[in-house]
Amino acid sequence: MVGVRVVQAYRFALDLSPVQERAVLAHAGAARLAYNWALARVRAVLDQRAAERSYGVPDDLLTPAIGWSLPALRRAWNAAKDVVAPWWRQVSKEAFNTGLDALARALRNWSDSRSGKRAGRRVGFPRFKSRRRTVPSVRFTTGAIRIEADRKHVVLPRLGRLKLHESARKLARRLEAGTARVMSATVRRDGGRWPVAFTVEIDRTPQTPSQPNAVVGVDVGIRHLAVLSTGVLVDNPRHLVTARQQLRRLNRALSRKTGPDRRIGRRPSRRWQRASARLGRAHARVANLRRDGLHKLTTRLAREHGTVVVEDLNVAGMLRNRRLARHIADAGFAEIRRQLGYKTGWNGGRLLVADRWYPSSKTCSGCGAVKTKLALHEREYTCEVCGLVVDRDLNAARNLAALAAEFDTAGSGPVAARGADQKTRARGQVAVKREPGTATADKTGTVPPQGGTTNRPLTTAH
């Protein structure tokens, strides 16, 4: 079988000695220095050209603009590094390349956002990186990057042989078999630990779900993290709520220590640094527990079901609800959809996303009748037409699963221009879109609703 080449990351925790940790911090500091130097140079040229325009200087006589691409920034850095950083030979050249690449990406994102090429929230102009607030990170793309034969050590340029907390056998087996190629390695401090993440190009063998014809609708929520159309309820572990008492205690302990104060130039005390590290480790544990639970849930869904249907939730808008924002952020709704997007493709399935305005909770899963209003506190759905009484979330999950049949039936219709852009009425549009990476293009047609008698156009959201 012909494999599919995908880019995947393998993350392992490092066990660094004090000397090795100082070496990694030196590389991260070099990356920050190159970033700040290049950003200062770009801003100086932009400010100079803006001042000259205000004086009426013609465009052809303005100060020459400088390139924002990575090759242009690298050439400028190589010409000035002997003056800016005479110690540059003590660290790997990849450290400076890390900072310059980050700036090139930031400038491109700002330019694309300003011109309308980049969708989503507006991206601001890059800012300087602070030594205290910036997370230390360095990325290696060339040089000696390998896993030792014992699978308990890795080798990185200039840093040498580094011990791992765990075995790297999963990645080592692929490298030995020739089905993987390491593209880069990134070392980053996370909650007091130093993980190394290998970005690897892998030949993945095509997989088939255990139930290729099975369809499951997934309704995410706060009371239950996910309610499946099969009737399975996935409990919400609420890791942040569980750890709040410990986090309060650590925050109180931190507030009693002598912390940094930039206004008077005061440096933090050793006790403040230790208390801050304890607080950071507690937050990192919550994030790791959440990440582990979401990966297990999405992997199980992608491996067992051929079709997974979820909703296109406006998570950013939901976070504006100050009463539920903490619980919504703790659940990780957007992360569930992101992981399902690539895991369904890896396992030979497909992910269908219902339009944001599709009334999954207001629609009766038995007869297709749609309620005009449904309050959030109403946890049971009672249909006034057929008398069906069912849990609100289970009803929504069943409606999502029913959309898969409508999508397949509408496969011969014309291609839709876009999905619904306003709130769906009782007999409005039902939009379904397919995540990138699926085999066929989305189609649209007119089909009867599940259990109903009125035709509804099935559209594809892009």
So which residues are the catalytic ones?
219, 311, 393
Residue 274 contacts by C-beta under 8 Å, 6 or more apart in sequence? none
Token readout for 180 is 């993987």
The candidate with the shortest Cα–Cα distance to 97, out of 107, 105, 108, is 105
Amino acid in the structure at residue 362: K
d(CA 231, CA 323): 28
Token readout for 192 is 């007091």
Asked if residue 361 lies in contact with residue 398, where contact means CB atoms within 8 angstroms, the answer is no
**DSSP E strand stretches across 107-210:** 137-140, 146-147, 153-156, 160-164, 180-188, 194-204
Angle between helix 70-84 and 18-54 (nearest 10): 110
- Identify the three-state secondary structure at position 312: coil
Token readout for 80 is 């000035």
Q: What is the DSSP letter of 223?
A: S
Q: Distances in Å between the alpha carbon of 95 and those of 28, 254, 319, 329, 388? A: 7, 33, 37, 33, 63
d(CA 277, CA 14): 17
Q: What is the DSSP letter of 259?
A: -
Token readout for 75 is 């050439």
